[in-house]
Chain A
Amino acid sequence: ETGVTQTPRHLVMGMTNKKSLKCEQHLGHNAMYWYKQSAKKPLELMFVYSLEERVENNSVPSRFSPECPNSSHLFLHLHTLQPEDSALYLCASSQDYTGELFFGEGSRLTVL
């Protein structure tokens, strides 16, 4: 595998479910990101991790919980979501904050 891979690609969950999105980067980058993409806000930054430490939480509700166990993996844990959380969740990585972002294919989330 090369680049940034995300699983699952599609996820349907009820409002009481708990699920997780996974992201893995094979580029040796030192920063990883979660973005939310929806019709309302095309590319909205959620979280930034640098060397496994969260450096930015862009006022995201606590029902979204990120985890970065090492510099190659990033998770987004989801619980008690709302229908308005339905969106495409994109993971990205970069070398430093002012470098090219490499995006994964995204996880399409539908909350019923």
Chain B
Amino acid sequence: GENVEQHPSTLSVQEGDSAVIKCTYSDSASNYFPWYKQELGKRPQLIIDIRSNVGEKKDQRIAVTLNKTAKHFSLHITETQPEDSAVYFCAASGTNAGKSTFGDGTTLTVKP
């Protein structure tokens, strides 16, 4: 099945700095790569996603890049703010339901 590795497991940055979280996946059939944010005590929520026919996608301060050849994708957050502090999960999935797999999460702390 699919295997998703996520790094780093924890990340601490100063407010205003950028944060980058990286994920690698193993199954070349995966074609959908979402990122979820989970604030303390709350449900995970989608913040951005990318499909395999696109190399980069941006939404205000958040961007995701995908390298299909290398099987890795990254989340970039610019001008970080304290409210960006949360756990971020990457995931990879395809047309097979069983291949929907999450990374182990990155705990991002933004210090004011």
Binding site for B on A (CB under 8 A): 31, 33, 41-45, 48, 50, 55-56, 58, 90, 97-101, 103-106
Min CB–CB distance B36 → chain A (angstroms)? 8
Min CB–CB distance A73 → chain B (angstroms)? 18
Q: Let me know if B73 is at the binding interface, CB within 8 A.
A: no
User: Whole-angstrom distance between the alpha carbons of A101 and B91 in the complex?
Assistant: 11
A41-B101 in contact (CB<8A)? no
User: Given that A43-B89, A97-B93, A98-B32 are contacting pairs, would A48 and B98 also be in contact in the complex, using a CB cutoff of 8 Å?
Assistant: yes
Interface string of B16-34 (1 = CB under 8 A from A): 0000000000000001101
Can you sample 13 A-B contacts with CB below 8 Å?
A: A31-B97, A33-B100, A42-B102, A43-B89, A43-B105, A45-B102, A48-B97, A55-B98, A56-B97, A90-B43, A98-B95, A100-B34, A103-B44
User: Whole-angstrom distance between the alpha carbons of A33 and B97 in the complex?
Assistant: 10
Min CB–CB distance A7 → chain B (angstroms)? 14
Chain B residues with CB under 8 A of A44: 102
User: Whole-angstrom distance between the alpha carbons of A44 and B98 in the complex?
Assistant: 11
A97-B95 in contact (CB<8A)? yes
Chain A residues with CB under 8 A of B44: 43, 90, 101, 103
User: Whole-angstrom distance between the alpha carbons of A30 and B51 in the complex?
Assistant: 20
Q: Let me know if B49 is at the binding interface, CB within 8 A.
A: yes
CB contact list, B48-99 vs A, under 8 A = 49, 51, 87, 89, 91, 93-99
User: Whole-angstrom distance between the alpha carbons of A21 and B90 in the complex?
Assistant: 26
Chain A residues with CB under 8 A of B94: 97-98
Chain B residues with CB under 8 A of A106: 43
Chain A residues with CB under 8 A of B34: 100-101
Given contacts A101-B46, A103-B44, A103-B45, 19 further A-B contacts (CB under 8 A): A42-B89, A43-B44, A43-B89, A43-B91, A43-B102, A43-B105, A44-B102, A48-B97, A48-B100, A55-B97, A90-B43, A97-B95, A97-B97, A97-B99, A97-B100, A98-B32, A99-B32, A101-B44, A103-B43
Chain A residues with CB under 8 A of B5: none
